[in-house]
A and B are shown apart, each in its own frame.
Chain A
Amino acid sequence: GNSVTQMEGPVTLSEEAFLTINCTYTATGYPSLFWYVQYPGEGLQLLLKATKADDKGSNKGFEATYRKETTSFHLEKGSVQVSDSAVYFCALSDQGDSNYQLIWGAGTKLIIKP
């Protein structure tokens, strides 16, 4: 079945460092790919998405490119801030007969130190 694998955390960086969080997937067909962020004590917020190969999703300085050839959707940011500290989840949409459900990675905790 479809699955998502993320790099294990926590990832600890200093402020203004470059961020990469790796995400790879296994899927039949051509799912859409998502990054969600979860701040402490809160629900999940959609960060960005890409719906087809070579699409680049971007939001709040974060970017991820849908790479079909490497089945990857790595999250990047050029200069992180303390406020980016959160758990980041990679997910893909799994289309059933009549619905879409999200298949999730285990999450990567990001800690940014001042």
Chain B
Amino acid sequence: ETGVTQSPTHLIKTRGQQVTLRCSSQSGHNTVSWYQQALGQGPQFIFQYYREEENGRGNFPPRFSGLQFPNYSSELNVNALELDDSALYLCASSTEGFETQYFGPGTRLLVL
């Protein structure tokens, strides 16, 4: 059974740029959630995707957007990067109707 994978592992961008992060869900999981974890803090829910549609969103501005593909993999896109977007971005997969989420290793984004 393949676990959740994310790419890239690390990324450095400058303010104003755009970034795309990728996530492959665990085998058999059809739901993907994205979280932002700032240094020294707990994760914050960004949004969730199910059946290629956004299925819930946290308190993040519209410049955070996402996609889910037919194979259940997902992308997180962030436009107009700000310094405060520097964080570890975590992807988690789960099965519809089940609460337990399984996390990937994360992508560490640094915005300069």
In the complex, which residues of chain A have a beta carbon less than 8 angstroms from the beta carbon of B58? 101
Chain A interface helix/strand/loop/mixed: strand
Interface size for chain A: under 10, 10 to 19, 20 to 34, or 35 or more residues? 20 to 34
Q: Residues of A contacting B104 with CB < 8 Å?
A: 43
Cβ of A100 and Cβ of B94 under 8 Å apart?
Answer: yes
Residue of B with least CB distance to A98: B55
Q: Give the interface segment out of B40-48, B60-68, B77-85.
A: B40-48
Interface residue from A36, A45, A107 paired with B41 (Cβ < 8 Å): A107
A98 contact set on B, CB distance < 8 A = 50, 55-56
- B24 proximal to A (CB < 8 A): no
On whether the beta carbons of A89 and B90 are closer than 8 Å, the reply is no
B33 at the interface (CB under 8 A from A): yes
**Chain A residues within 8 Å of B, Cβ to Cβ:** 4, 32, 34, 36, 42-46, 49, 51, 89, 91, 93, 95-107
